[in-house]
Amino acid sequence: APVLMWFRRDLRLSDHAALTAACEAGQPVIPVFINDPLVERLGAAPKWRLGLGIGALAESLEDKGSRLVLRRGDALEVLQDLIAETGAAAVFWSRLYDPDSVDRDGKIKETLKDADIDARSFGGHLMFEPWTVETKTGGYYKVYTPFWNAVKNVGVDAPRATPSSIPAPESWPHSDDLDSWQMGAAMDRGADVVRPFVQLGEQSAQARLGSFMAHGVAGYKDNRDIPGMDGTSNLSENLSLGEISPHQCWHASQRALDEGKAGAETFLKELVWREFAYHLMHHTPRILDRNWREEWEAFPWNEDARKSEVWAWKKGRTGIPFVDAAMREMYVTGRMHNRGRMIVASYLTKHLLTHWRIGMEWFEDCLIDWDPASNAMGWQWSAGSGPDATPYFRVFNPETQLDKFDKNRDYVGRWIAERKSSPHEDALKFFEAIPRHWGMKPDDPYPSPIVSPSEGRSRALEAYENRDF
């Protein structure tokens, strides 16, 4: 009887525990992707990017004589239909950790097991299962450095090879046509503008990892903070969809470290920040939508997303070059440099006294590397409401940050067109991508700051001092 291999955010064939187990079962394997309500409600860019990833996975499966069966509907019902149609006796998948997926998958496992189906979940999205890392007193970690110390020598499984063959069934169940799902329907910015910036699929992710380890990782420690440089791995979109595994990145980086490339240790630490985000989401799922530090619920955040200041922030029209450059970078490329993410998040939550949730949701709509755990942790860290966060009174000054991290103005020059006689081509792409009703043109005057760094700073500190907690 066939095994159903249910793909979700593990869109690769190599180092795939569930797929390997399915292939080793000695039965036909039927790969399936289900467009269920959790997929339906993804933000515009993550959903569009997922659609591209599904297409790339389907092609890799076809190269191996297999296929990807696409179905839409409630996940349990779809699986039950497929079991009835194909006589499958097992369903395998890779674990997810956000509360809604955990809830869905738990119910599915229970129901299928009751029907004598071998329903099994496997690891692979993370190197360290969140419940396996414990403090000495048996609790979870709230601070990164002790978490790093706890995991750094644990040992990470060596990556598995790609299965040599994926046994096909005698006949294939019906599959939807991917185009009919219209995964890009909500991408009202020109998807054509974003597409060239996408690093799509397992092969490109592996190629990028290889070139980053050969040329990038040695200087990573210093270069990773300079947004005008290509100094980071750019693997987040692939990690987010499982087009590459963290284990593959970890082992490649360990080899680089053994070869004396010092930046590799910093890279290992960043991979562990991702694990830490998942650790926190597992132990405190409220990090996704409530202030992690509960006293912050009383802070007088602006919670009105329609406010003109919030719109200026979203449109990259705050008049603060570092903030605007980063917001435009995200709109055009679907990604934003980490330094930019910290600065725009600080400006929104401190200078504009706006709830981090509004920023988090905008990122969720715009990022092709959107990740529920890293996004929530990043926002709460920046806002001061999260675990191990910067204290609220430490307000980033976007002007001194510019002098420190974009000395030659390479980054703001790449993303801001106004006032330039010959703007950078990427800066102009922003104007191709934005909806017409934003009413922005490259030859508009560049706006003056909606809230200046010093005024914003004192406003934020005043609100913080007058808080009632």
Burial readout 391-413 (b: 16 or more C-beta within 10 A, e: otherwise): ebeebbbbeebbeebbeeeebbb
220 is in an annotated binding site: yes
Taking the complex as a whole, the smallest distance from the CB of residue 196 to ligand FAD amounts, in Å, to 17
Pairing verdict, β 29-35 and 90-94:
unpaired
240 binds ligand FAD (CB under 6 A): yes
Q: Which is closer to ligand FAD, CB of 35 or CB of 232?
A: 232
Q: Judged by CB, which is closer to ligand FAD: 147, or 379? A: 379
The answer to whether 235 is a known ligand-binding residue is yes
Closest-CA residue to 122 (of 273, 271, 12, 21):
21
Q: Candidates 14, 382, 385, 397: give the one binding ligand FAD (CB under 6 A).
A: 382
Cβ at position 360, least distance to ligand FAD in Å: 7
For 121, how many CA atoms within 13 A lie in the half-sphere containing its CB?
20
Of residues 91-150, those binding ligand FAD (CB under 6 A): none
Q: Looking at this protein, which amino acid is placed at residue 320?
A: I
371 among annotated binding-site residues:
yes
Residue 291 vs 375, nearer CB to ligand FAD = 375
Per-residue contact flags (x/-) with ligand FAD for residues 195 to 224, judged by CB under 6 A: -----------------------------x
Residue closer to ligand FAD by CB (options 19, 277) is: 277
For residue 378, state whether it binds ligand FAD (rule: CB under 6 A): yes
Nearest alpha-carbon partner for 55 in 153, 213, 178: 178
Can you tell me the distance from the alpha carbon of 301 to that of 376, in angstroms, rounded to the nearest whole number? 17
Structure tokens at 90: 């097992």
The response to whether 234 counts as a known ligand-binding position is yes
Applying CB under 6 A, which of residues 235, 330, 417, 451 lies at the interface with ligand FAD? 235
| Count of CB atoms situated within 10 Å of the CB of 214 | 11
How big is the CA angle at 280 (ends 95 and 218), to the nearest 5 degrees? Answer: 85
**Closer to ligand FAD by Cβ: residue 69 or 367:** 367
Q: Which stretch binds ligand FAD (CB under 6 A): 18-26, 63-71, 368-376, 389-397?
A: 368-376
The Cβ of residue 350 has, within 10 Å, a number of other Cβ atoms equal to 25
Q: How far apart are CA 354 and CA 232, in angstroms?
A: 29
By CB under 6 A, tell whether 248 contacts ligand FAD. Answer: no
Q: Give the DSSP letter of residue 337.
A: -
- State in angstroms the smallest separation of the CB of 266 from ligand FAD: 9
Q: Which of residues 331-350 bind ligand FAD (CB under 6 A)?
A: 338, 341-342, 345
- Distance (Å, rounded) from C-alpha 216 to C-alpha 54? 29
Question: CB–CB of 370/361 below 8 Å?
Answer: no
233 binds ligand FAD per the rule CB under 6 A: yes
In the complex with ligand FAD, which residue's Cβ is closer, 20 or 333? 333
Residue 236 annotated in ligand binding: yes
Q: How many CB atoms within 10 Å of residue 257?
A: 16
Q: How far is the CB of 237 from ligand FAD (least distance, A)?
A: 8
- In whole angstroms, how close is the CB of 83 to ligand FAD at the nearest point? 34
Residue at shortest CB range from ligand FAD: 378
- Binding piece for ligand FAD, criterion CB under 6 A, among 100-108, 133-141, 253-261, 366-374: 366-374
**Residue 76 assigned as binding residue:** no
Nearest approach, Cβ of residue 212 and ligand FAD (Å): 7
Q: How far apart are CA 243 and CA 209, in angstroms?
A: 12
Residue keyed to tokens 């296929």: 67
Give the HSE-up count for residue 248: Cα atoms under 13 Å, Cβ half-sphere: 27
Q: What is the DSSP letter of 156?
A: -
From the list 11-19, 121-129, 369-377, 412-420, the region that binds ligand FAD by CB under 6 A is 369-377
SS3 93: strand
For ligand FAD, which is the closer residue by CB, 30 or 345?
Answer: 345
Site size with ligand FAD, rule: CB under 6 A: 27
Q: Which segment (26-34, 181-189, 230-238, 325-333) binds ligand FAD by CB under 6 A?
A: 230-238
Distance CA 165, CA 168 (A): 9
Positions 259 through 318 that interact with ligand FAD (CB under 6 A): 270-271, 273-274, 277
27 with 2: CB under 8 angstroms? yes
* Least gap, CB of 43 to ligand FAD (angstroms): 10
Nearer to ligand FAD, 162 or 232 (CB): 232
Query: Which backbone phi and psi does 101 adopt, to 5 degrees?
Result: -70, -40
Q: What secondary structure does DSSP assign to 199-260, as a single string?
A: --HHHHHHHHHHHIIIIIGGGHHHHTT-TTS--S---HHHHHTTSS-HHHHHHHHHHHHHTT
Count the Cβ atoms, other than its own, within 10 Å of residue 429: 22
Binding residues for FAD: 220, 232-236, 267, 369-371
Binding site for ligand FAD (CB under 6 A): 224, 232-236, 239-240, 270-271, 273-274, 277, 338, 341-342, 345, 363, 367, 369-371, 374-375, 378-379, 382
Binding residues: 220, 232-236, 267, 369-371
